[in-house]
Chains A and B, each alone.
Chain A
Amino acid sequence: MNNLAIDMKDIVKKFGAVVASDHVNFQVEKGEIHALLGENGAGKSTIMSMLSGIYRADSGSIFINGCLTKIRSPKESMELGIGMVHQNFRLVETLTAVENIILGEKGSTWRGANWMKKKTKEIEELAERYGLTFPSSVPVWQLSVGEQQRVEIVKTLYRGAEIIIFDEPTSVLTPLEVDQLFKTMAELKHHGKTMIITTHKLKEVMAISDRISVMRKGRMIVQTLKEDTTIQELANLMVGQEFNEGVPIESIPAGRPIIEVRDLFIATKEHNNAINRIDFTINEHEIVGIAGVAGNGQKELAESLTGLIPWTSGEIIFNNEKITVPKVKDLIDKGIAHIPENRMKSGLAGSLGIVDNLLMKSYRSTERGRFGLINKKATNQWAQQLVEQFDVRTPDLISPVGQLSGGNQQKLLFAREVDLKPKLMIAVHPTQGLDVGAARAVHELLIQLRAAGSGVLLISEDLDEIMQLSDRILVLFNGQINGIINRGQANKEAIGQLMAGLSRKDEVVYESKIVI
């Protein structure tokens, strides 16, 4: 058994009444790529946090390379040769890659130019050995997401990691960058490193891993070799029920146009052509998906259509009415609903209760109270009804919504927005961070809106979601529409290439715009 890099036995961890890890056994062999699968809240992160010294187990034992150990801090974890590449990178944006990597290093008081030169060389050599390239002397914020991730990987290697944990590494990457990452992982494996990857993307698991562990609700369900399983089986194990490929969507002929966007141009302080002359129309009974890598104008587009930022030129005609001065309040009243990108940051107020969060869009209406007052009793009844209708699991109506699970928060947000009976729903990353069950509920809600005659603008990075729901897919790249694909004609590779700025004929359609 001494071929095991990690051997966790009978691990129990409780957070209050919640058992996050229920007598979990987890083994990783040396030199393998091990995928840890599970929905959000299945306990993956808890297990990984124990390995990286952030949490300690209530009971159970951990053997690293055959030795019984207690990992009491991230530092000790590092000393044991465990490195972690976090989902949200732990980098200081204004420092260079090299400075980030040597940050916190002890043992040298004087750090002159020579020392830096030596370190830079050392790090560059290390990076090269594993085929990881990134500009080492520009501030990290100027690097692409993929490059930043490579910096994180080199950071763990530099600190002597033999076991590298990747926490949802592909969630922020483009398809091309994912390929690159997988090549890197193969290279690391070749050098004898052990890797654990946590994810809920099944196809990636099948592409990269040697062995697979599936967790569900704090329990280890199965450990298996990749060859012995299929995607379908893994999906079933993960959700614990028959998994079917998405919610069925009936074909409804599109109605009259709800929103027409013509020659829209948006310049912001950060980006002087965030949206660069785009045209599109959304009709009744239609879901239009916007695909694209983050930062290609999606945020600005959503903010303009909801009145949060003004556009520079072009026309937006909503419901046959030209919108001249965009105001959030007017647009809400006209019937534009919005599921913002980050629900806790801009959709809900975490410290307030259910009622106050549901009121956000409708507190001005006479139904909620007259003469500038809010009728508490009627409002509470209304809130209770919405909670039941949308199946929001909450102990009561006043406890802070920050304590609800992500899925329930999103349901609450949908309850509020759908209750407005919107003509247009702008949903930005509506299933980000949700488990399969909650994501399915969100998809059903969007499909119901479409059936009821609303138009939906769906902005998402999840191609499966976009392809499944959209009647039409627009691919945004550098603020422009780089391709339009109708339902049924979509395939992932084509969208991926359009997202990366390539046209369908594989030619580069943009010149390098990096001017310093």
Chain B
Amino acid sequence: MSQKSSFDPLSMKTAKNDHGIPFKLEYDPHKKSGGWWVPVLSILLALILCAIFIMLNGMNPITVYTKMLVGAFGSSFGLSETIVKAIPLLLCGLGVAVAYKIAVWNIGAEGQFIFGAIGATAVTIFLPNIPGALYIPLMMLAGIAGGAIWGLFTAIPRTHFQVNELITSLMLNYVALLLLDYLVYGPWRDPQGFNFPGTPEFTPYQMLANIGGTRLHFGLIFAIAAVVILAFFLAKTRWGYELRLLGANPTAAQNAGIKINKHILIVMMISGGLAGIAGAIEVSGVAGRLMYGISPGYGYTAIIVAWLAKLNPWAMIFTSLFIGGLIVGGYSVQTIGLPSSFSSMLQGAILFCLIAGEMLSRYRLKRVK
């Protein structure tokens, strides 16, 4: 009671409400962030907010949302497309979530994804004559390495020079993007490609096998495996415990002999590696080559996937499917006259509500007498 920070500056600020409003918000420092209802409610709220926009366009929101739902999950084609989108989102989401667990704000999954794609493609370009069965393992490893190295470019300035990783990771996205452009417009461009900004198409050995005649590919197995492995490590191992402690109280972790910098380096390599393998899977499973605009922003969208799942690896299976469905559903509303960017708007609204919800769930609403 008394030591429950009775002089908390925030509560002082909120207690100043003397304008006849019968409620006040009180910050509760011991309250953990909200439960599962926060993501669920923020999705609902975002849907309602966007419904207003739909109605302003003279359409019925129910029709639009139904159309999206059917488009994303209503047919085997839609469903497979949704899963195809969900795979990179899930892998990148896992990547950023690991970093967020220890409060390293990696928003560079986009760049790490691109670097993974570049790494995998480099194998096809520099090793044209190796046995076919070696391609996929090598490409995946190169993808992980590419993403991990790109992650280190963010981690090392943070650990050695106290550079804010938020800024470096974001800016390195543009560096990676421009490097990609240089490669596909320049040295790696397919000479027989009629000026298309992309590398030569991969050979079948360099491609991940498809599942059941759709675009759905074996990258799905990698993604699910990543969830299982990561969830196991986080929950059961000493390393997972160290991350939990670092996330909860870095000073106490230091007092327990845990080296923060070592962990930041490892975690950023894992984070980048996961985004990197997503990039490798995207070129070898979907695109079949490295090309301009290889990522439609998976690295950024993955941040929403991670937070909607409250950084829980298992829950990310569902949130990545949901967001993947949102993207695919966005294509189908084009047929009734809404721009496909409607789905980006919906994503933005969800993130907005989510952040607000997480923040506000740490406050209590109190009746004032």
Contact = CB atoms under 8 A, between A and B. Distances in A.
Interface of A: 15, 18, 20, 40-46, 49, 53-56, 58, 72-76, 86, 88, 306-308, 327-332, 338, 340, 345-352, 356, 359-361, 363-364, 369, 372-374, 376, 400, 402-403, 405-406, 433
A74 B253 CA distance: 38
8 contacts: A41-B2, A45-B3, A73-B15, A73-B16, A346-B254, A349-B248, A372-B237, A433-B3
Nearest to A375: B236
Contacts of A402: 29-30
Interface in B263-301: none
Nearest to A20: B1
B241 A374 contact: yes
A464 to B, nearest CB: 22
Given A44-B2, A73-B16, A360-B252, 10 more contacts: A20-B1, A20-B2, A41-B2, A56-B369, A73-B15, A73-B17, A86-B7, A345-B249, A349-B245, A369-B238
A369 B237 CA distance: 9
B160 interface: no
B12 interface: yes
Interface in B21-59: 29-30, 32
A359 B241 CA distance: 9
B255 A306 contact: yes
Interface string B231-265: 00000111101101100110111111100000000
Contacts of B236: 373-374, 376
Nearest to A332: B257
A236 to B, nearest CB: 22
A403 B255 contact: no
Given A328-B257, A338-B255, A372-B238, A350 B249 contact: yes
A346 B30 CA distance: 17
Contact of A405 (B3, B15, B17, B239): B3
Contacts of B239: 372
Contacts of A403: 30
A351 B18 contact: no
Contacts of A44: 2
B248 A351 contact: yes
Interface of B: 1-4, 6-7, 11-12, 15-18, 29-30, 32, 236-239, 241-242, 244-245, 248-249, 251-257, 368-369
A351 B369 CA distance: 31
Nearest to B239: A372
A396 to B, nearest CB: 15
A348 B241 CA distance: 14
Contact of A351 (B11, B16, B32, B242): B32
A43 B256 contact: no
A17 to B, nearest CB: 11
B2 A74 contact: no
Contact of A46 (B2, B251, B256): B2
Contacts of B7: 49, 54, 86, 88
Contacts of B15: 53-55, 72-74
A268 to B, nearest CB: 16
Given A18-B1, A75-B16, A308 B248 contact: no
A54 B12 contact: yes
B2 to A, nearest CB: 4
A400 B248 CA distance: 11
Contacts of A53: 15
A45 B16 contact: no
A328 B237 contact: no
A12 B333 CA distance: 59
Nearest to B236: A373
Contact of B252 (A306, A346, A433): A346
B257 A352 contact: no
A363 B16 contact: no
Interface centre among B2, B239, B253, B256 (most CB of A within 10 A): B2
Nearest to B242: A363
A369 B16 CA distance: 52
B6 to A, nearest CB: 5
B2 A45 contact: yes
Contact of A348 (B1, B29, B249): B249
Nearest to A328: B257
B238 A364 contact: yes
A403 B30 CA distance: 6
A443 B354 CA distance: 48
Given A72-B18, A327-B257, A406 B252 contact: no
Given A46-B6, A374-B236, A41 B256 contact: no
B2 A346 contact: no
Given A340-B255, A347-B255, A360 B4 contact: no
A73 B16 CA distance: 5
Contacts of A15: 1, 4
Given A56-B369, A400-B30, A400-B32, A348 B3 contact: no
A58 B255 CA distance: 42
Contacts of B32: 351, 400
Contact of B248 (A73, A352, A361): A352
A385 B249 CA distance: 25
Nearest to A52: B7
Contacts of A307: 257
9 residue pairs, one from A and one from B, having the closest CB atoms:
A329-B257, A349-B248, A328-B257, A349-B249, A45-B2, A360-B256, A346-B251, A20-B1, A402-B30
Interface centre among A43, A76, A360, A406 (most CB of B within 10 A): A360
B335 to A, nearest CB: 48
A55 B6 contact: yes
Contacts of A433: 3
Nearest to A368: B238
A89 B16 CA distance: 20
A40 B1 CA distance: 10
Nearest to B2: A45
Contact of A373 (B18, B238, B254): B238
A364 to B, nearest CB: 6
Nearest to B30: A402
Given A54-B12, A73-B15, A74-B15, A356 B245 contact: yes
A338 B242 CA distance: 19
Contacts of B238: 363-364, 369, 372-374
Nearest to B17: A73
Contacts of A328: 254-257
Nearest to B249: A349
Interface centre among B1, B241, B252 (most CB of A within 10 A): B1
Contacts of B255: 306, 308, 328, 338, 340, 346-347, 360
A306 B12 CA distance: 38
A58 B237 CA distance: 48
Contact of B1 (A41, A338, A345): A41
Given A356-B241, A374-B238, A40 B2 contact: yes
A332 B29 CA distance: 31
